[in-house]
Structure 1
Amino acid sequence: METRNMRVLVVEDDYFIADQLVREICELGDEPIGPFASVGDALPVIDRAEVAILDIKLGDETSFPIADRLMMTHTPFLFLTGYDSQLVPHRFYETDIYIKPSRAEPMLKALRALHHPPQDSPAAPRVPGADGTETIEDLVMEMLRRARHVMPDNASAERLVERVLKVALQKVDQGADEQDLKNWLRQLFAYEFRNRISHLH
């Protein structure tokens, strides 16, 4: 199957590592965006990216704000680090982490699997409630039904939905209204589902 070249956001503050990644990405036929050495430099162009490679530690800051934005738009990404992976917050616990130095080819292969998911990867579920409107409970039940349909067992399906709900609770704490929460649940579920499916294949 023919695969289209990807636009790869590169966020890395080590000049030599960043330069090597960009060269390898070009040699493999994909298009690098960057490299960028800070969150502030990368965020304005984040919408151009189809996938991303993020160095975790960027001087005195981390790339987690970029990762949050990418997760919100279900844009595949992975982390690259020379530090302890325990620094990664729980909400990213399923994101692939590569240890420096790593070549671009295996990272691009992993990102391509997420960017071009299997055909049975679902769109975010939308279901009506009893009065014709969708409730959060309806949405959660539909997520669970779809997860059970393709995950290896009920336990893994429930863990997938639990993961989505735990992260969603953070949005509630941030004051998200119900419609925003529904939209965010759909996006996060689609991202997590696609991530899990790629590991099954």
Structure 2
Amino acid sequence: MSAGSLSRRRVLAVEDEYFIAEELEEALRNAGATVLGPVASVDGALALLRTEAAPEAAILDVNLCGEMVYPVADLLTARGVPFVFATGYDQAALPERYAAVRRLEKPFEPPAVLRELGRLLAGTPAPA
């Protein structure tokens, strides 16, 4: 899936590590996406979701300065917005309700994020 599939797509970025957030934002913008955020907290992400038009996809860091991102993931799920977790956590450490959510293991390269978001937006299954 090419990064071109992100052109003019609204993507929420939730990441608390400044340099990773900045790199993500730059990669998404270079791919033509409209970036919501990046935001570094659960409260910030929820506030953004209340005030902005809904994103079409999202990338969520699981642990935001000790606070788990699950309330944001739950809201996105309720709204039918696909997302991917970016985390150092093993799949088994995530709650069972997120067993089917795609996970990018940190550290990751921006092209991997762009490919994964492109797959989400296209409804393409993750590679085996």
Whether the aligned pair in 1 keeps the contact of 2:14 and 2:40 (CA below 8 Å) is yes
2:42 is matched with 39
CA-based RMSD of the aligned residues comes to: 2.0
| Structure 2: gaps (5+ residues) | none
Question: Taking structure 2 as the reference length, what is the TM-score of the superposition?
Answer: 0.82
Indicate how the Cα distance of structure 1 residues 34 and 108 shifts in structure 2: closer, same or farther if over 3 A, else same.
same
Q: Percent identity?
A: 37
* Structure index of larger Rg: 1
Q: Report the TM-score, using the length of structure 1 for normalisation.
A: 0.54
**Helix, strand or coil for the counterpart of 2:125?**
helix
1:34 & 1:104 partners in 2: Cα distance?
A: 16
Measure, in 1, the Cα distance between the counterparts of 2:18 and 2:120. 27
Of Structure 1 and Structure 2, which has the larger fraction of its residues in helix? 1
- The higher relative CO (CA closer than 8 Å, separation ≥ 6) is in 2
Alignment of 1:15-26 (within 5 A): 15-26=18-29
Q: In structure 2, what is the Cα distance between the partners aligned to 1:116 and 1:21?
A: 20
Q: How far does residue 200 in structure 1 lie from its aligned partner after superposition?
A: 7.9
Which of 53, 62, 68 matches 1:62? 68
Unpaired runs of 5+ residues, structure 1, are 118-197
Q: Which residue of 2 aligns with 1:181?
A: none
